[in-house]
Amino acid sequence: MKVMKTLSRTILPFIIMFLFSCAVITVNIYFPARDVEKAYENLENQLMKPPAAKPGAPSSTKPKTSPPAKPAPPSSSPQSFLNPSTWFVSVAYAEDNLAVQISQHIMRMPDVVNAYRRMGKRLPIINRLRDRRLVGEANTGFLTPFTRLKRNDALALSDENHDRSIVILGMAKAILEINHLPINKKNLDKVYPKAAAQFADLRRKKAKPGWKIQLPNGKWVVKR
């Protein structure tokens, strides 16, 4: 009996530690920053198209060239899977195509697609506000006003930030989908800040000289 008590006092702490460690296991979510940025760019280029030129306006005569076709993915047959030389090719193709996969996930989200289209139509107003430095690109991914805006401009700013929130949330959902994780508040809370930060980083890169941008450390500067 005494031996049993001694063993229980010795083993019990390890059992408790093991159970506790199991309870606090967290899931790491893969966030491919480079591919997320490329996916944002792909979606903007595809969905935020500039308005059509007015009749009589001069048009470019430069012929359009189609981009080179991407190679087909390696075969997924059992024979190719068993060949180690194809593993590296498969991985490289998957990584190369990840931005496209993310874009495809988002293109199946009508609310995000419509948000991008509204942003495209609103672009002349937003550009005018940025050109005049009435608003700036914050490190949150949203626009920040620096003065009291006129009613129509203020409405445009509010609508723009609302649509940006839809876009960033859509990106967060797409990241969870490619990680094969449930889309719930807990997981979204982990991914949304990263999706927003990547969106803000792209806004800084694409900002024109003279626009106000906020650096990751919070400092506001004028883009040079």
Whether the Cβ atoms of residue 43 and residue 114 lie closer than 8 Å to each other: no
Residue 95, pLDDT score? 47
For residues 114 and 170, what is the distance between their CA atoms, to the nearest angstrom?
12
Residue 49, pLDDT score? 80
Number of domains into which the chain is organized? 1
Whether the Cβ atoms of residue 169 and residue 188 lie closer than 8 Å to each other: yes
- Residue 88 counted as domain residue: yes
Q: What are 157-197's pLDDT values in tens digits?
A: 999 999 999 999 999 999 999 999 999 999 999 999 999 99
- Residue 13 counted as domain residue: no
- Residue 139 counted as domain residue: no
- For residue 166, the surrounding DSSP H or E stretch is helix 151-178
- Residue 87 counted as domain residue: yes
Whether the Cβ atoms of residue 47 and residue 120 lie closer than 8 Å to each other: yes
Residue 105, pLDDT score? 97
String of b and e for 197-212 (b: at least 16 CB within 10 Å)? bbbbbbbbeebeeebb
- Residue 19 counted as domain residue: no
Residue 51, pLDDT score? 52
CB atoms within 10 A of CB 168: 26
- Residue 15 counted as domain residue: no
Burial (CB count within 10 angstroms: exposed 0-12, middle 13-18, buried 19+), residue 19:
exposed
- Residue 214 counted as domain residue: no
Bridge partners, residue 214, by sequence:
220
Domain range enclosing 154: 30-48+83-132+147-199
- Residue 61 counted as domain residue: no
Query: Which stretches of the chain are assigned E, i.e. beta strand?
Result: 135-137, 143-145, 212-214, 220-222
For residues 2 and 4, what is the distance between their CA atoms, to the nearest angstrom?
5
Low-confidence ranges of the chain (pLDDT < 50): 3, 7, 18-25, 53, 57-95
Query: Which residues, in sequence order, are CB contacts of 140 under 8 Å at separation 6+?
Result: 196, 200
